[in-house]
Amino acid sequence: PELFLGSDLSGKALGIVGAGRIGSGVARRLAQGFGMKVNYYDIARSVALEAEVASEYYESLDELLRVSDVVSLHVPLLPETKHLINAERLAIMKSSAYLVNTARGPVIDEAALVAALKQKTIRGAALDVFENEPVLATDLATLENVIITPHIASASEETRGKMSELVGYNMNEFFLGHVPPHKVVVE
């Protein structure tokens, strides 16, 4: 009876870190589809998300982490988001919490995550991105409380089609002398 045992999502607190287009979409799906209570943290309050989904804005990431049963990361990789989730922040999460990262690998300090998973500081993690892709942190792939996918969150025909259209649109805007609306800046 304990084989493949997990916990229900219904009624649990979802902590969205980064409430942009993708984070808001995840919040909407989990609230409407699974009945999760949505809490979110972002650099700015999202009136649009709050109008669409009953949700609570947290000005403090640490406070959001303390109250969330599932934390889902949706932030870009910037100097201020590198290792946003580190040993200190993992320690303040619920011991029953799950951490999901489909954003960027270096947002999580993977060595700290491995230690937290081994010590059962948090219950588990689901990762589609990694700090030093394609190399995984030592012992990460051997842990029973982590799900690892090979950076395939966008792997659907529809999503890849939309990505191709976006590239074409950005190129067109560039060649017309405009600033592409979805430019990527490499430092």
144 is catalytic: no
The active-site residue out of 74, 89, 104, 123 is: 104
Tokens of 4: 């493949």
182 is catalytic: no
**Residue 26 DSSP SS3:** helix
What is the distance between the alpha carbons of residues 9 and 62, in angstroms, rounded to a whole number?
Answer: 22
The active-site residue out of 133, 160, 165, 178 is: 133
CB 14 within 8 A of CB 27: yes
DSSP assignment of 16-82: EE--SHHHHHHHHHHHHHH-PEEEEE-SS--HHHHHHS-EEEES-HHHHHHH-SEEEE-----TTTT
**Residue 171 DSSP SS3:** helix
The active-site residue out of 28, 66, 83, 151 is: 151
187 is catalytic: no
CB 9 within 8 A of CB 18: no
Instruction: Compute how many other C-beta atoms are within 10 angstroms of the C-beta atom of residue 74.
Output: 24
By annotation, the residues acting in catalysis are: 104, 133, 151
